[in-house]
């Protein structure tokens, strides 16, 4: 039996980078396989019900798992050493908030700094897509294979995320601030929560490596000037020989507080709008068991400016992952969490959606319509 994991994905894909970094950290043997048309038709689409999406991981037993968060969950349940879940409630919640931030909110700067700086990035990105999709074409013309995906993803900033002339200045200002906060944090700690990485580190790494550190414009202007952030990227891109400990006493570093304050002010405001719209959609479609990927648009605000983004019920499911450790915590832990949030002025008021969701078999399901709903974290295939 082949003992390797197969990671189907692309060097320049945000969520592929997240999973790759995780596999490296755990020291699991894997091979990364680019997704040509043939692989898309023979592996990806059969595994996802027809959706060409990366990453997909094939386990040594031959099972395919789609969705980066579920890949990490499933592998964590098998490979217990070097756990990426800290022991205390506060640290677990902060880890999941960073997962939510990296996976669902850093798409704004990641997409903006890739697609709105075409003069600097376009040739590189066409080549990267082309190498992935058409590895058998002669090298000189492979970039042509990148044209189709460039049309598909190039419209994301404007049409899916509502990035436009009026909100770009505040988006850029927030990005620089965030990168400075992270650079400051990594000048004191190796990872978000001390001497070893958590779920949140891997989710941050996705956009920060695959977009910021590889695309020519952000690499030069955003990453190179920040040496501590750069050093964390290097750590996350290798298998560490030795790892340290979580910060003692369920402590959260002060240097993460401004990031969490800004996230809770803006991203959670947006997610509450997604939850409301999703509940409305479900009440209008009472027979539906699964949800569409997009249900219209919702407003968001980012660092003081506004926009409209496609409404993805998937964001609700990601938010529910943050709630999960809270549901099983005892009173003492809950008090400690509430006190800390209050003292630090982090506006996170856990809100349980009326219709919880589960992501399974590449679709979002109403949790109450599944035969065996179980935990939100256990459904991947
Ligand atoms: N939630 C998924 C997101 C995967 C995703 O959006 N992948 C991008 C590439 S980075 C893609 O393949 N998109 C195709 C599409 O959205 O149709 C995960 O965490 O794996």
> Rounded mean pLDDT of the chain?
95
Q: How far is CA 357 from the centre of its chain?
A: 18
Whether the per-residue pLDDT at 371 is higher than 90: the answer is no
Helices marked H in 285-378 — which ranges?
313-327, 331-343
pLDDT at 169: 98
Distance CA 365, CA 355 (A): 10
Q: φ and ψ at 253, to 5 degrees?
A: -60, 140
Q: What spacing in Å lies between the alpha carbon of 242 and ligand 1's midpoint?
A: 32
Residue-range domain boundaries for the chain = 5-78, 107-250, 254-376
pLDDT digits (tens, 9 = 90+) for 35-44: 999 999 999 9
Q: Within 6 Å (CB) of ligand 1, which residues are found?
A: 13-15, 53-55, 67-69, 103
- Token representation of residue 6: 């197969």
Distance CA 378, CA 361 (A): 11
- Which phi-psi region, left, alpha or beta, contains residue 260 (left: φ > 0; alpha: ψ -120 to 50)? alpha
97-131 residues labelled b (16+ CB within 10 A) or e (exposed): bbbbbbbbbbbbbbbbbbbbeeebbbebbbbbbbb
Query: Is the preceding omega at residue 194 within 30 degrees of 0, hence cis?
Result: no
The mean per-residue pLDDT over the stretch 331-348 comes to: 97
pLDDT at 374: 55
The CATH-assigned architecture of domain 107-250 is Up-down Bundle (1.20)
pLDDT at 376: 52
Q: Which CATH class is domain 5-78?
A: alpha beta
Q: For the residues of 198-267, what is the DSSP string, one character each?
A: -HHHHHHHHHIIIIIITSHHHIIIIITT-HHHHHHHHHHTS--SS---BPGGG---GGGHHHHHHHHHHH
Q: Pick the residue whose CA is nearest to atom 17 on ligand 1.
A: 53
Instruction: Select from 379, 325, 339, 359 the least CA-distant residue to 94.
Output: 325
Ligand 1 atom with minimal separation from the 54 CA: 12
Whether the per-residue pLDDT at 372 is higher than 90: the answer is no
């Amino acid at each position: 039996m082949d003992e390797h994991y197969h990671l189907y994905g692309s060097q320049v894909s945000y969520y592929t980078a997240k999973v790759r970094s995780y596999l490296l950290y755990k020291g699991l043997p894997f091979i990364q396989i680019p997704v040509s048309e043939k692989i898309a038709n023979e592996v990806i689409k059969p595994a996802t019900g027809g959706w060409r999406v990366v990453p997909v991981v094939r386990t040594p037993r031959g099972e395919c798992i789609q969705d980066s968060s579920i890949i990490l969950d499933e592998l964590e349940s098998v490979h217990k050493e070097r756990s990426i879940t800290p022991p205390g409630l506060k640290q677990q919640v902060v880890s999941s908030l960073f997962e939510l931030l990296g996976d669902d909110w850093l798409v704004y700067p990641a997409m903006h700094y890739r697609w709105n700086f075409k003069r600097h990035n376009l040739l590189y990105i066409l080549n990267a897509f082309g190498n992935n999709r058409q590895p058998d074409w002669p090298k000189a013309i492979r970039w042509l294979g990148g044209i189709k995906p460039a049309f598909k993803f190039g419209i994301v900033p404007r049409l899916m995320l509502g990035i436009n002339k009026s909100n770009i200045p505040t988006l850029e200002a927030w990005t620089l601030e965030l990168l400075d906060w992270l650079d400051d944090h990594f000048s004191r700690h190796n990872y978000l929560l001390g001497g070893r990485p958590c779920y949140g580190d891997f989710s941050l790494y996705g956009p920060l490596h695959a977009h910021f550190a590889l695309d020519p414009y952000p690499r030069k202007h955003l990453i190179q000037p920040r040496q501590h952030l750069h050093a964390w990227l290097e750590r996350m891109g290798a298998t560490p020989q030795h790892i340290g400990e979580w910060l003692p006493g369920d402590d959260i570093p002060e240097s993460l507080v401004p990031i969490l304050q800004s996230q809770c002010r803006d991203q959670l405001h947006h997610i509450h709008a997604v939850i409301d719209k999703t509940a409305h959609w479900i009440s209008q479609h009472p027979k539906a068991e699964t949800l569409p990927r997009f249900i219209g648009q919702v407003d968001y605000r980012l660092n003081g400016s506004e926009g409209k983004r496609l409404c993805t019920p998937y964001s609700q499911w990601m938010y529910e992952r943050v709630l999960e450790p809270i549901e099983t915590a005892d009173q003492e832990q809950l008090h400690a969490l509430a006190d800390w949030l209050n003292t630090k002025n982090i506006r996170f008021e856990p809100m349980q959606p009326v219709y919880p969701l589960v992501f399974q078999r590449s679709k979002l399901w109403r949790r109450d319509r599944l035969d065996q709903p179980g935990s939100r974290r256990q459904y991947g295939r």
